[in-house]
Every structure is written in structure tokens, then in C-alpha cells.
């Protein structure tokens, strides 16, 4: 009779490429939040054997689930437009912040060094002040409002397609969990070599997985969590420290 440990090992994937595994993990996890995107690139990664033979077999089924998810979510395409608008506002905010900083710096330099064009600075600021204030207000208020709108629309979609969503979500979550476990096991066994902790960090939109430790929460400029496989959290540091000491010796 096989032990539970051996059974769990049999369900793991033989990851050959850590970068490919992390990208495909994020792709599958993102579909659970209707983060729909083309996955032709993932087909190529799988075809090249970067995820191992077992995953290649499972991929046929999971990609079919993703295709169905994309078709069912077709009515939610406007959410992609909202997400794009959100990113535009964020980028515009960065530009406005840079302009504000530049004008402030020029003002200080002009008055400190008594440049002749210093008298033009107040006039420039008088014209730019109102647009800058409006821009900053939009930058601060816009993205959170859009984020709440997207969340509300997602909840409505999930409510309308409850049975389908539950079934598809379970399939996607199960595959994502297996990838996490496989990455963790491969690093722990030394099958995947890592030199820095950052190489082990995973990007996830959902955090309802077993065996993960949150490193960074989503921010204004990042929509996903950054996590580490929990069982490797201390081992990774030890492994990297030992690797660095070995390199220093030679």
C-alpha cells in the first residue's frame, strides 16, 4: 500500500524551467480572477517540455477549461478596458508627479542662484497649478474607484455563472496548487537551482493556496501578491547563504 507522501509526489510535475513555471502559474491563477489573456506562448513553453511530461498531458484539459472561461467571460470584456484605463491613469499620474517635481526643483535652483529666468517660474506655475492639481486628484482617486468597479462587476459575473465558475475555478486552483508544490519540491530537492531568493518568488492574484507565505501585498502599481513557498522560506535563505559562502571560498 502506497503512503500519502508517495501519492503526493506522484501528483507533482517535473518542472524543467523555473521561469516558465512561474509564468504559467500566474497565467492559470489569473484566469481565476478573469484576468483573460492569450496563452499561445504557454502552448509553446509546454510543447518544449519546460513543465515536464505529466503537465503536458494535463495541459490539454486545463487549457480547455481556460478557453471555456474566456468564452463565458466574453460579456465582461469591458472590464479589460477599465483595467487599461486604470493603468493609463497610473502612468499619467507618474508623468504629472515628474513634472511637478521638475518645476519645484527648477524654482528652487532659479531663486538660489538668481538666474534671470527665475521671474518666469511663478508665471509658469500659475498656469500649471490648476491642471497639476486636477491631474493629481484624478491619479489618486481614479484607480481605486475603477478597482472597486471591477470588483463589483466580477462579483456579479460570478453570481450569474455560479455553477460554471465553481467547477472551472476548482480545476484551475488544483493545477495552480500542483505547480506551487512542484516548484517547492524541485527547489528543495535541488532539481531547480536558485542563487537568489527573488528567483523563488511567485506572483499570484489569489492567496487561497496551501503552503505559501505572502512577501508583498498588491499596491497601486502591482495588482498581484508576491509570495514564497512557505516550506522553503527558511531553507531558501540557508541554501543561498551556503551557496554564497562556497563561492567566496573559491
Give how far the C-alpha of residue 111 lies from the chain's centroid of Cα atoms, to the nearest Å. Answer: 45
Question: How many whole angstroms separate alpha carbon 41 and alpha carbon 171?
Answer: 21
Asked whether residue 165 is domain-assigned, the answer is: no
Asked whether residue 139 is domain-assigned, the answer is: yes
Q: What is the pLDDT of residues 77-87, one digit of tens each?
A: 555 566 666 66
Asked whether residue 13 is domain-assigned, the answer is: no
Asked whether residue 120 is domain-assigned, the answer is: yes
Q: What is the pLDDT of residues 84-131, one digit of tens each?
A: 666 666 667 667 667 767 666 766 666 665 656 556 666 666 666 666
Structural domains of the chain, count: 1
Which 8-state DSSP code applies to residue 73?
G
Q: What angle, 0 to 180 degrees and rounded to 10, lies between the N-to-C axes of helices 40-47 and 53-72? A: 170
Asked whether residue 138 is domain-assigned, the answer is: yes
Asked whether residue 112 is domain-assigned, the answer is: yes
For residue 85, the enclosing domain spans 76-158
Asked whether residue 126 is domain-assigned, the answer is: yes
State the pLDDT at residue 7.
41
Q: What is the pTM of this model?
A: 0.64
Amino acid at each position: 500500500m502506497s503512503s500519502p507522501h508517495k501519492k503526493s509526489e506522484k501528483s507533482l510535475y517535473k518542472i524543467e524551467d523555473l521561469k516558465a513555471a512561474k509564468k504559467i502559474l500566474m497565467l492559470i491563477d489569473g484566469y481565476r480572477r478573469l484576468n483573460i489573456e492569450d496563452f499561445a506562448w504557454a502552448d509553446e513553453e509546454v510543447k518544449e517540455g519546460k513543465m515536464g511530461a505529466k503537465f503536458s498531458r494535463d495541459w490539454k484539459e486545463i487549457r480547455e477549461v481556460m478557453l471555456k472561461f474566456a468564452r463565458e467571460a466574453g460579456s465582461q470584456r469591458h472590464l479589460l478596458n477599465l483595467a487599461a484605463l486604470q493603468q493609463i491613469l497610473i502612468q499619467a499620474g507618474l508623468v504629472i508627479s515628474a513634472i511637478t517635481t521638475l518645476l519645484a526643483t527648477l524654482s528652487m535652483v532659479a531663486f538660489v542662484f538668481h538666474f534671470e529666468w527665475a521671474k518666469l517660474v511663478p508665471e509658469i506655475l500659475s498656469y500649471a497649478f490648476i491642471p497639476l492639481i486636477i491631474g493629481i486628484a484624478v491619479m489618486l482617486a481614479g484607480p481605486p474607484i475603477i478597482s472597486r468597479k471591477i470588483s463589483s462587476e466580477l462579483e456579479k459575473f460570478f453570481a450569474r455563472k455560479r455553477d460554471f465558475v465553481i467547477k472551472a475555478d476548482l480545476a484551475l486552483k488544483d493545477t495552480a496548487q500542483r505547480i506551487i508544490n512542484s516548484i517547492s519540491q524541485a527547489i528543495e530537492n535541488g532539481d531547480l537551482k536558485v542563487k537568489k531568493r527573488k528567483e523563488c518568488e511567485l506572483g499570484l492574484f489569489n492567496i487561497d493556496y496551501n503552503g505559501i507565505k505572502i512577501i508583498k501585498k498588491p499596491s497601486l502599481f502591482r495588482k498581484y501578491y508576491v509570495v514564497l513557498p512557505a516550506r522553503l522560506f527558511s531553507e531558501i535563505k540557508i541554501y543561498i547563504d551556503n551557496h554564497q559562502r562556497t563561492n567566496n571560498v573559491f
